[in-house]
Structure 1
Amino acid sequence: MLANWIITGFTLILLITTLLPLTRKAVWWARLWDFPRLQQAFVALLLLIASGYWLESTSPYTWALIAVQLFCGAWQLWWIFPYTFLGKREVARYKRGQSGEHIDEHLRILVVNVFQYNRNAVGLVRMINQQRPDVVVVVEADKWWMEQLTDIEDDYGHILRQPQTNSYGMLVYSIWPFKNEEIEFLVHDTIPSMHFDLEMPGGRLVRMHCLHPSPPSIIDPKKTKLRDVELLKVADKTAQENGPVIVTGDLNDVAWSHTTRQFLRESELLDPRLGRGIYSTYHARFPLLRWPLDHIFHSEHFMLVEIKRLKGFGSDHFPLLVELALRSDE
């Protein structure tokens, strides 16, 4: 009897949290359940096993519970399936020296949320020196982080700086020059974003948008809407840009959410993770609570050379490294 009540209770909770995102309410208690879809699918599996082991197999009530559990598990898997190795890839892989493709340049980008109160700058500098990215996008950077990263400025001579103490500071370092660079506050005067043309060695320009919108907020419901508004404003910008485009940063949203899917549709950008893996970057310290918050989306001008999640260095996020090959425009 006790097992019946326990399994019923957890099944009801699973059903409610599965349905809440369908309301599309801009409140944290609804948006939160967009994130742990993999974990919820696992919970559904555990409940199915528990129902088969402890409940009466001939009872219609048992089969009703199993039907709910199957529905919830299947629904959660439907959202994350495109990011498994069985999903369809929308970005082609480019192998170095591959024939039949005309490639102008390679672009290697490291995006990392340092966690403002983390003090392992040495670990990040060591990682940058090992991986040798062309562009480093640092979010949650305050003045302390800006000062610690002066060690890389000899190699990365082109820099955009907006250090802040509210966990929304941003720094961008590049070995290549910027043109038309702007630091904008698209939705709130405390949340910056960076936009610039990156001048490649061959002279082509790649338009980059670096973002760190606010997450769903328990304290301030208005901030929950700000993330969506900022993403869709940038989607509108990129849809009007004809050349190579990249959007990157900690977007405080998972790849499979309704908002991110809408962003990709309206921006006409591609996600190189589709068909390759989830690449969860948060939370670095709690393996059971991980989902992909850090992203790199790009236009059809690129092929994928490499994508990988790097080792942690004290932040609550893992760094994400992506190398893209820029197709020739000839």
Structure 2
Amino acid sequence: MKIALFYLLLIAAVALWLGSLLPIIPTDLWWIRVADFPRLQTSIGLVAVLIGFFFFTRRYRTPATTAATITAGVLGYQAFLLLPYLPTGTDLANDSCPVDHRFKVMVANVRLTNDPDNRLIDQVRAADPDVFLALEVDQKWTRALAPLKTRMPHTVIHPTGSYFGIALYSRLPLDNPHIEHLANQDTPQIVTGVQLPTGEVFDFLGIHPRPPHPSQSALGRDAVLMRAAFLLRDNDRPGVVAGDFNAVPWEDAVAMMRDVAQLVDPRHGYGYLPTYDAQSWWMAWPLDHVFYEAGFAALELERGQAFGSDHYPYIATLCRVDRQRSERPDAAERDTLNSARDIISRARRQAETRASD
């Protein structure tokens, strides 16, 4: 009986080792890329099997000790990725930001098949964001969200009838708002300037790339992230990018995106803040994001309440600050920039091939 339990524990450990280490492989394969998502869950599993191996060290000393050592090493790697998301405090005190320099961004993936009711509208009104980005909107959702135009009259509304409709509602004036298909992908993204009460305009990108899943690789998603980063990098104005990235913040693609545009992830030091899956007790990871360039600082991050979607709303209050006062990541290496450009080029070629078929 004990040998059977030991082998079951060993099988579970091997599965957790593979799930933790496979994403190290540089590939676009969907099943490897999505293994990056549940790192907190696999870490909990690793802790459980590590404890389990200690119960077998007397009877099966060598194999149990070896397995426990490997498990501890893999757990250390997981901790290296996840520890930056432990809460350590804010990067700017609320009372140090002038009112006309602060603004609130709210992101909500409404889920196309979710029937709209008042729960989301009520949350938007209560949060009172300056900019509200809604994803997966169709005609029924744009009708349901229409009352928001009273408080947020500046809009970009682009329903598609698919899972990639997108809409932006803003209290602040927009500068040259338009839809772009970044990296020639078939999903629309919003590109606009947003004017603060001070009169200054910053760049805002609202994005929702396709997720990696059995019918598609992660290449298209990664290309959208890279192209968004280059748009911000190549513009002199400070910028913010927000949306459902269909990627977790510790993924290599997201790290590359941050490096390209020198973006700050405000979850660093704030906490894990999972926004998906609102309908599952165990699938909990952060897919919705608000990143910003130097020149902004995060005052507050919040997760909204469930409203029938598989995503929770995600809310970030930011402050426009002097560039030198904001956290500024290291400049991207030339190799990183070349790798990002290569991702965009490969995705464009793939899109052109599909269009010609």
Q: TM-score, normalized by length of structure 2?
A: 0.86
Cα deviation code 1:289-322 (max 9, x no counterpart): 1100000001121122211111111110000111
Within 5 Å, give how 1:86-235 maps onto structure 2. Answer: 92-96=91-95, 98=96, 104-188=100-184, 190-221=186-217, 224-235=218-229
| 8 Å contact from structure 1 (residues 106, 323) kept in 2 | yes
Matched, 1:34 2:36: yes
Query: Is 1:261 aligned with 2:247?
Result: no
Question: Deviation per CA, 1:171-225, whole angstroms, max 9, x where unpaired?
Answer: 000011111212011134530000000011221001001100111120233xx20
Deviation at 1:75, TM superposition (A): 1.1
SS at match of 1:187: helix
CA distance in 1 between partners of 2:53 and 2:108 (Å): 42
> What is the distance in 1 between the residues matched to 2:32 and 2:286?
18
Instruction: After TM superposition, give the deviation of residue 329 of structure 1 in Å.
Output: 7.8
Deviation at 1:107, TM superposition (A): 0.8
The number of residue pairs the alignment matches comes to 322
* Partner AA of 1:22 in structure 2: I
CA distance in 1, matches of 2:115, 2:98: 43
After TM superposition, the structure 1 stretch with the greater mean CA deviation from structure 2, 112-121 or 102-111, is 102-111
Contact 1:55 1:62 in 2 (8 A): yes
- 1-structure distance, mates of 2:202, 2:81: 31
Q: Is 1:237 matched up with 2:239?
A: no
Give 1:50's match in structure 2, choosing from 49, 52, 60: 52
Cα distance in 2 between the residues matched to 1:31 and 1:300: 29
What residue is the counterpart of 1:6 in the other structure? 8
Separation of aligned partners in 2, 1:121 and 1:252: 25
In structure 2, the partner of 1:300 is 294
2:284 aligned to which of 285, 290, 298:
290
- Per-residue CA distance 1:156-180 (angstroms, 9 max, x = gap): 1111011012200000000111112
Which protein has greater RCO, CA pairs closer than 8 Å, 6+ apart? 1
User: Do 1:168 and 1:190's aligned partners in 2 also have CA atoms closer than 8 Å?
Assistant: no
> Tell me, what secondary structure is at the counterpart of 1:31?
helix
- Closer, same or farther: CA 209–307 of 1 in aligned 2, 3 Å: same
Structure 2 unmatched runs, 5+? 325-357
> Is there any run of 5+ residues in structure 1 with no aligned partner, and where?
none
Q: SS of the counterpart of 2:264?
A: coil
Residue 279 (str. 1) matches residue 273 (str. 2): yes
Cα deviation digits, residues 255-305 of structure 1 (max 9, x gap): 111110111011111111101101110011112111000000011211222
Cα distance, 1:102 vs structure 2 = 6.5
Q: 1:49 to 1:202 in 2, by over 3 A?
A: same
Contact 2:16 2:46 in 1 (8 A): yes
Contact 1:272 / 1:304 at 8 angstroms: preserved in 2? yes
Q: Deviations over 1:92-111 (max 9, x none)?
A: 22312x3xx66751111110
Greater shift in the superposed pair: 117-126 or 162-171 = 117-126
Partner of 1:70: 72
Identity %: 26
Cα distance in 2, alignment partners of residues 199 and 306 from structure 1: 21
The CA deviation at 1:54 is 4.2
| 1:243 shift after superposition | 2.2
Provide the C-alpha distance between the structure 1 equivalents of 2:27 and 2:278, rounded to a whole number of angstroms: 28
What is the SS of the residue equivalent to 1:48? helix
Aligned-residue CA RMSD (Å): 1.8
